Amino acid sequence: MSTNWKTLEDHVRGIASLRWASACRPAHIDGVDFDGVCQISVDELVIIEITKERNLQKVRDDLNKIVPTKLRLATQGLICRAFIVLDSEPTDSMVEAGKSSHITICSATAFERAFFDFQSYDRLRSALPFGSAVDSKTGANDSRAFIPVKYIDFDKDKPYTIDGIVALLQRGAHLVLSGDYGTGKSRCVREVYTKLRSDVRGSSAFPLAINLRDHWSSSSALEIVAGHLGNVGLGNSVDNVMRLLNSGHLILLLDGFDEIGTQVHDTRIEDRKALRKRAVQGVRDLINKCKAGVLITGRSHFFDGNVEMIESLGLSQARDLSCLQAPETFSTAEGTQYLTALGITAALPEWLPRRPLVFQMMVELEKEDFERLLKRDSGQFEFWAAFIYAVCRRESKGVGDSIAPQTIQLILQFLAAKTRYSTTFTGRLTPSDIDSAYQLVVGSVPDQSGRQLLSRMCTLGRIEPESPDRQFIDANVVDVLRADSLVSDVVSMSETSGRTQWVQSLGLLGTFHAAQIIRFYDLEQQSFAYLHRFGTAQNTKRLGEIVSALSVYGAEPLDFRLLTLSRSRLPIMNLASRTVSNLIIKDSEIDLLILDGTPITAAHNSTLEDCIFSSVAGVSAQNGLPSWIKNAEVINFERLSNAARIKESPLTPAQKLFLAMIHKIFLQPGSGREEAALLKGGYGQKYSPKLADAILKLLVKHGVVGRIKGDDGWVYKPIRRFMDRMNRIRSELTLSEDELWTEISSLVIHR
């Protein structure tokens, strides 16, 4: 059993026992009482006097106790080493007084440091990242103020604060903190460490904070401890730290059990569980050897359920075990407090998710950009693309940048497309679905980095206990990813995301996202070409979503060339500000139809027949519907205009042309693009030649594209190493701080 260090005497005696591997106890020698004596061997012992007083006379009194005894023991052939340990640092006079008698005068901290230099460990460890609680731009520790939240033990129906977790660890409890991606688990570890490092005596133990992702494939406690101390820069302390571990004077804070093991998606449940258990055998050995408190964190969906998690981590026999859940979201008050601490006064919009990770990503923007995004009507649509890319970039760093962010995003797109056939909106993905998506994107079976990525795939979470299947944890994320997949089909002129009729359709967010991509990258004509080519395809819901996205923004007339859709579903049809001709939609569902002052008449040869409308805006009753809407079933009429819902993100002509150009150069098939092709805008209109020339010159100046002389003029070729940079700009848009984007944004061409 470990000793208690709550008093100075107990602390010093405990360190002495560890230092000399011999029990240190008060003892009576030659008629003199000493605070601590260690009998190292039959002919060697250590005598220790311990005092809280810091005055020279007290030190001299203790010297007068020790020196005669030391001399008498020497006459008996016994080696005696002696220490006087003070609560605080001794003066130079005190140290000098002991030197003449070969007696060490030191503070308790210095005495402790001779065994384990915790002060150096603390200084070095605090400068290193705590798991994923870092600034995603710099990789440095997250310096923002911590917002206190509550961690829930659902089995005991009890909430815990950071102080509550610290108290449990100090009494020797074992805690598992699980949660989905980005719920603040690593930040919790950092805050707990900060509390424990300041109360070593109260804990009777030193805290050790280990990022488990740094110890891939470690199979024993010794490997993990040695590797951790080596990473920190105290590799020569391994033996003594292992003594602390075995004696119960080390509190373990282990972050990321999902990052140390590989999760093989085998169809046989028992084999899969055995592989995961083997992957965390080093962690299990470390926990089993620890006789003090343990906190271990990880993503909840790494294991199929709590039963498997507890057994695999070696916690089945733990006497004081609590399984805590990290909160998935901030409350409104906590979110407001987070922003207020950063000096941001903008109110939280309803659309902004309250997840801790969202706030972390958002506040890494410039303060002005963040406030502008929160206040802007179109902020919701700009946010999600930037957020998903930031998440993928974060995951890429988690596997040492061995898998590019755009690759991770493509894997997520394939998974989102797969969920189109699920019975629930957030989907149900089997282990083989996840493996298949990786192989389709990467072109090979997952290697070690791939396994690590799939085992903790971002934005996915557990569905129910003991099931290997996963689902998207956020409906907005899966909606936007489905929209990206839809646009990819349009660009590639394929039916990759499914030939048969989908079960799940886009929501309004996904439709607006698709509409903005089509608008930004001049894909209107490509979309019409897709509808013309696949107009008779079985998957009419995909065709309906393309029609829906085309209707959202702009005022140009839309001619669908006698397209007929049947048994489709359209999230929105905005018919308020433009004419739509040669389009027949029948036996279909339309979630939102906007008719405010529509210019469409029967002469435009468009008909909506035998359709169900969830909501119609701009008309107050059935008899107000235009004649070209026939046999309509309307669930709800909205008197007030809904046109205000549709706010296009404000991009300048230069920004739009730049996006269209990099899309054609980097993302469309082929090795390059002729200059003439780069000058064509949406609906065949021409952009300003001066503006186009200025943008092309900037692209060449920054080395992003090269150009060669072709048969019909200049041909611009992509420099592929800048693909990730272009993808990042495309995702962040007005939030981008890229130097090239900044220069493009400042372009003003006078006619």
* pLDDT, greater one: 647 or 254: 254
**CA distances from residue 211 to 25, 105, 132, 229, 585 in whole angstroms, order as listed:** 37, 38, 9, 11, 56
CA–CA distance, 339 with 347 (Å, rounded to integer): 9
Among the ranges given (168-182, 198-212, 660-674), the one the predictor scored with the smallest mean pLDDT: 660-674
Taking Cα atoms as reference points, which of 105, 132, 265 lies closest to residue 188? Answer: 132
Torsion of CA 291, 295, 299, 304, to 10 degrees: 40
Averaged pLDDT for residues 103-130 = 94
pLDDT in the model for residue 665:
87
The DSSP secondary-structure symbol of 355 reads -
* pLDDT, greater one: 587 or 461: 587
pLDDT in the model for residue 457:
80
pLDDT in the model for residue 535:
93
Among the ranges given (147-151, 345-349, 414-418, 628-632), the one the predictor scored with the smallest mean pLDDT: 345-349
Averaged pLDDT for residues 302-325 = 88
Q: Which fold has domain 643-746?
A: Arc Repressor Mutant, subunit A (1.10.10)
- Reported residue count of the chain is 751
Question: In sequence order, which residues have a C-beta less than 8 Å from that of residue 257 and are 6 or more positions away?
Answer: 212, 280, 283, 296, 297, 298, 302, 313
pLDDT in the model for residue 387:
80
pLDDT in the model for residue 271:
66
Percent residues over pLDDT 70 in the chain: 91
Question: In sequence order, which residues have a C-beta less than 8 Å from that of residue 286 and are 6 or more positions away?
Answer: 220, 221, 224, 225, 245, 252, 254
Averaged pLDDT for residues 12-37 = 92
Q: For 140-172, what is each residue's pLDDT tens digit?
A: 777 777 888 889 998 888 999 999 999 999 999
Number of C-beta neighbours around residue 154 at 10 A: 10
**CA distances from residue 480 to 124, 135, 433, 506 in whole angstroms, order as listed:** 42, 25, 19, 8
* pLDDT, greater one: 719 or 669: 719
Residue 129 has pLDDT above 80, yes or no: yes
pLDDT in the model for residue 685:
46
**CA distances from residue 313 to 176, 189, 307, 555 in whole angstroms, order as listed:** 9, 18, 10, 60
716 phi/psi in degrees, rounded to 5: -100, 125
Q: Which amino acid is at 35?
A: D
E strands within 528-611? 558-566, 569-574, 580-586, 589-594, 606-609
Question: Is residue 262 very low, low, confident or very high in pLDDT (cuts 50, 70, 90)?
Answer: low
pLDDT in the model for residue 212:
92
Q: For 697-707, what is each residue's pLDDT tens digit?
A: 999 999 999 98
Residue 261 has pLDDT above 60, yes or no: no
CA angle 291, 294, 297 (to 5 degrees): 155
pLDDT in the model for residue 162:
96
Q: For 475-504, what is each residue's pLDDT tens digit?
A: 889 999 999 999 999 999 999 888 999 999
CA–CA distance, 196 with 294 (Å, rounded to integer): 12
Question: Is residue 644 very low, low, confident or very high in pLDDT (cuts 50, 70, 90)?
Answer: very low
The DSSP secondary-structure symbol of 366 reads -
Strand pairing report for 460-462 and 151-153: unpaired
Among the ranges given (487-491, 568-572, 596-600, 669-673), the one the predictor scored with the smallest mean pLDDT: 669-673
Percent residues over pLDDT 90 in the chain: 49
Q: Which helix (DSSP H) or strand (DSSP E) does residue 432 occupy? A: helix 431-442
Residue 328 has pLDDT above 90, yes or no: no
Q: For 365-392, what is each residue's pLDDT tens digit?
A: 666 766 776 766 666 777 788 788 878 8
Among the ranges given (145-159, 293-307, 619-633, 638-652), the one the predictor scored with the smallest mean pLDDT: 638-652
Q: Tell me if 118-325 shares its fold with 643-746.
A: no
pLDDT in the model for residue 599:
92
Question: Is residue 446 very low, low, confident or very high in pLDDT (cuts 50, 70, 90)?
Answer: confident
pLDDT in the model for residue 36:
94
The CATH code belonging to domain 118-325 is 3.40.50
Residue with tokens 């660890």: 169
CA–CA distance, 22 with 39 (Å, rounded to integer): 7
SS3 446: coil
* pLDDT, greater one: 190 or 184: 190
Question: In sequence order, which residues have a C-beta less than 8 Å from that of residue 658 and are 6 or more positions away?
Answer: 695, 741, 744
Domain regions of the chain by residue span: 5-115, 118-325, 354-473, 480-637, 643-746
The DSSP secondary-structure symbol of 665 reads I
Is the Cα dihedral 482, 485, 491, 497 positive or negative? negative
* pLDDT, greater one: 39 or 100: 39
Question: In sequence order, which residues have a C-beta less than 8 Å from that of residue 416 and are 6 or more positions away?
Answer: 427, 472, 478, 481, 482, 484, 485
E strands within 268-374? 294-299, 321-325
HEC string for 459-513: CEEECCCCCCCEEECCHHHHHHHHHHHHHHHHHHCCCCCCCCCCCCCCCHHHHHH
* pLDDT, greater one: 393 or 353: 393
292 and 248 in contact (C-beta within 8 Å)?
yes
Averaged pLDDT for residues 175-201 = 90
Residue 748 has pLDDT above 80, yes or no: no
Residue 273 has pLDDT above 80, yes or no: no
Residue 332 has pLDDT above 90, yes or no: no
CA–CA distance, 523 with 530 (Å, rounded to integer): 10
Averaged pLDDT for residues 680-709 = 78
Question: Is residue 1 very low, low, confident or very high in pLDDT (cuts 50, 70, 90)?
Answer: very low
Residue 85 has pLDDT above 70, yes or no: yes
The token pair that represents 278 in the structure block: 């083997």
- Looking at every residue in the chain, the average pLDDT score rounds to 86
Residue 551 has pLDDT above 90, yes or no: yes
CA–CA distance, 79 with 42 (Å, rounded to integer): 10
pLDDT in the model for residue 143:
75
Question: Is residue 341 very low, low, confident or very high in pLDDT (cuts 50, 70, 90)?
Answer: confident
pLDDT in the model for residue 44:
93
How far the first Cα of the chain sits from its last, in Å, is 85
pLDDT in the model for residue 480:
95
CATH of 5-115, one of 3.40.91.50, 1.10.10.10, 3.30.70.890, 3.30.930.10: 3.40.91.50
pLDDT in the model for residue 460:
85
pLDDT in the model for residue 683:
40
CA–CA distance, 295 with 186 (Å, rounded to integer): 11
pLDDT in the model for residue 68:
93
